[in-house]
Structure 1
Amino acid sequence: MVLSVAGINVKFTGLLDDGFKEAFLGTFARRYLPDVFPSEGDTDIILERFKGGSFRVFSAIYDHNGVDSYKIESSVPSAYGNEAPVFFLLQAVARAGAKKGRFIITDSVSVVLPSGKAVLFVGYPHTGKSTISAIALSSDLPVLSTENTVLEVRQEKLFVVGGTDILVYDPRVEEIYGIEVPYDDVTRSGYRIADIRGDSRRRTLLRRGVEVEMIVVLHAAFNCGQASYAAIRGRKVRKTLWYFATALLKGLDYYEPLPLHMPMSEEISDNLWGFLKATSESYSGRMYEAFGNHRAIFESVVEMSFRK
């Protein structure tokens, strides 16, 4: 069986009779893995699985005839029980994608603005990304990604070409901001789950890619005041995006027992430099740090889009 994850084809082999591969199509996996679908394309990653009670990667071979191959021991992936295989696969796909010039930006969400272009929100955990996405859904604006965003460079501009399609958000957003957000399920801790895979507008937009109009580094909280902005220019654009573009490659998205140390090939380094160079040249002055409450930031970003 082959799964496409973020446009990267992963071939599963080994012991697969217990639902191991199918688990990557589930809600928990799709919260972190962008655009997971069955595929028949050429193989980019070979993942051989052996059954076991704990998770470990005991073999990794990189760039053999263009393919990365891994042997792992693992039980079936599950939320709260065995989450490591999902984050391992995310790291492996990030590396294979970088070889093709497709970068998975961690800790990010993207929303289509009234202009028809996208805003990319990035930020460390608990800085407001999911709440911003919930506000966008309540405003009937297409949300392209909910946790990890897939970007490509086209003619020195960034384009969103994929992203995660499960949004988990705090239900307090509805009471605090007086909005209503459609949702499909609830987590064990009471957070709501919205599955946006069925949004036909989103599917159509991602097939052709959506140009990024601006990038916003979020610092939002419920008890903050009105929005304020600080423009990011020049070298600081590259420096800021370096973390979000390389965190998955370098295993900064932690999973147990420890993330792999994956080598950065010359091909990946060249693609990464091209990505950062294009971003710093095209988005200097169009990348901002934003401070304030979520709705104030969201509304001011929409207003800026109208002015452009």
Structure 2
Amino acid sequence: MISVGGVGVLFEGELDDGFEDGFRTTFARRYLPDVLRGDARPNVIIERFKGEKFRVFSSLYDVNSKDYYKLESAVPQAYKNEAPVFFLLQATARAGARKGRIFITDSVSVINENGKAVLFVGYPHTGKSTISALALSEGLPLLSTENTVVDVRDGRIFVIGGTDVLVYDPKIEEIYGIKVEYQDTTRSGYRIVDISSSERRIALRRGVEIEKIIVLHAAFGGGDASFSPVRGRKIKKTLWYFSTSLLKGMDYYEPAPLYMPMSDEINSNLNRLLDLAVESYSGAMFEAFGNHRDVFRRTLLFY
């Protein structure tokens, strides 16, 4: 059994080829938040059958607060069989939302100089990995690198989990004159940083309050940073996209993502998050434009 983002996953069936271990690789951890060996009650139960192609041929939802799947698949592997990883991301995002643990996609979070978190969300190629690399070069701790897990408490939103593998383009170091320690590279030459640590786990166990939410539109050729406040309905619309994308299978996998129903409990937890965001972050959520370095400095270093 493993835990993904605080969601217990129990594998059953044909597992003697290392199928479960495929979800603890560096590739899998790039997308699956906080993959740990689990010993809690399972929220997702997956019966696996060996096969060359990936397919989910049975799904059953919300049975005694558990979701059940039957699937056929080879062992998860980068470049060869990636679909099981994105399926599990979708399945655990759904089970997490039922528990009030909301998976925010296309997001990174950084602890600022005040000891609180800044959550950056943005579509692909808007600067999230670059902001993360800049943070590491300045010694600021990263909490999440691709997908972030949040919950609601005491009228604020807290980061409680996230992916712990950063992949970034090495040209960032040349353009901005920085140095980041990395452990490995991808086939394409992108650099890989493992941010897991005991300090990070302790911080996430407590939860780190989000002070600001930044919607990134950064670019290497951008000028000085400028910020546009996000208020009211636009907060809901923006966060709805990033908090429901995984549930809807926006991280595409073959042959096609499942349709996973949104239960009343899930909708209630999502709306609780969105209502709180409107109430508490109308003066603390901004769209950010300009070059990455200036956006980074003005959101994380200067107050």
The alignment's TM-score, normalised by the length of structure 2, stands at: 0.99
Q: C-alpha separation between the residues in 1 aligned to 2:273 and 2:297?
A: 29
Gaps of 5+ in 1: none
**Aligned positions, number:** 303
Q: C-alpha separation between the residues in 1 aligned to 2:281 and 2:77?
A: 39
Q: C-alpha separation between the residues in 2 aligned to 1:283 and 1:134?
A: 26
What corresponds to 1:201 in structure 2?
199
Q: C-alpha separation between the residues in 1 aligned to 2:74 and 2:137?
A: 38
Amino acid at match of 1:54: K
Shift in Å at residue 200 of structure 1? 3.1
Q: C-alpha separation between the residues in 1 aligned to 2:300 and 2:273?
A: 26
Q: C-alpha separation between the residues in 2 aligned to 1:140 and 1:130?
A: 15
| Structure 2 residue matching 1:79: 3-state secondary structure | coil
| Structure 2 residue matching 1:174: 3-state secondary structure | helix
Q: Is the 8 A contact 1:142 1:201 kept in 2?
A: no
What corresponds to 1:236 in structure 2?
234
Amino acid at match of 2:175: I
Q: Is the 8 A contact 2:118 2:300 kept in 1?
A: no
Amino acid at match of 1:158: I
Task: Encode CA deviations 1:188-244: one digit per residue, 9 max, x unaligned.
Answer: 0000000011x3331221110000000000011111111011000111111111100
Shift in Å at residue 303 of structure 1? 4.1
- Once structures 1 and 2 are overlaid, which stretch shifts more, 157-166 or 248-257? 248-257
What corresponds to 1:288 in structure 2?
286
What corresponds to 2:97 in structure 1?
98
What corresponds to 2:166 in structure 1?
167
Q: C-alpha separation between the residues in 2 aligned to 1:201 and 1:45?
A: 28
What corresponds to 2:212 in structure 1?
214
Where does 1:118-197 land on structure 2 (aligned, <5 Å)? 118-197=117-196
Q: Is the 8 A contact 2:108 2:121 kept in 1?
A: yes
Q: C-alpha separation between the residues in 2 aligned to 1:61 and 1:99?
A: 15
Task: Encode CA deviations 1:169-190: one digit per residue, 9 max, x unaligned.
Answer: 0001111111100100000000
CA change 1:256–1:97 in 2 (3 A) is: same
| Structure 2 residue matching 1:251: 3-state secondary structure | coil
4+ residue runs of structure 1 moved beyond 2 angstroms? Answer: none
Q: Is the 8 A contact 1:56 1:257 kept in 2?
A: yes
Q: C-alpha separation between the residues in 1 aligned to 2:258 and 2:154?
A: 33
Work out which of the residue numbers 255, 266, 269 in structure 2 matches 1:268. 266
| Structure 1 residue matching 2:84: 3-state secondary structure | helix
Amino acid at match of 1:186: T
Amino acid at match of 2:272: G
Task: Encode CA deviations 1:92-132: one digit per residue, 9 max, x unaligned.
Answer: 00000001100000000000000010000000011110110
Q: C-alpha separation between the residues in 1 aligned to 2:67 and 2:61?
A: 4
Q: Is the 8 A contact 2:112 2:301 kept in 1?
A: no
Q: Is the 8 A contact 2:59 2:68 kept in 1?
A: yes
What corresponds to 1:39 in structure 2?
38
What corresponds to 1:68 in structure 2?
67
Q: C-alpha separation between the residues in 2 aligned to 1:204 and 1:137?
A: 19
Q: C-alpha separation between the residues in 2 aligned to 1:17 and 1:26?
A: 17
Amino acid at match of 2:140: L
| Structure 2 residue matching 1:140: 3-state secondary structure | coil
Q: C-alpha separation between the residues in 1 aligned to 2:136 and 2:202?
A: 17
Q: Is the 8 A contact 2:217 2:288 kept in 1?
A: yes
Q: Does 2:26 align with 1:10?
A: no
Q: C-alpha separation between the residues in 1 aligned to 2:124 and 2:199?
A: 28
Shift in Å at residue 296 of structure 1? 0.7
The alignment's TM-score, normalised by the length of structure 1, stands at: 0.97
Amino acid at match of 1:260: L
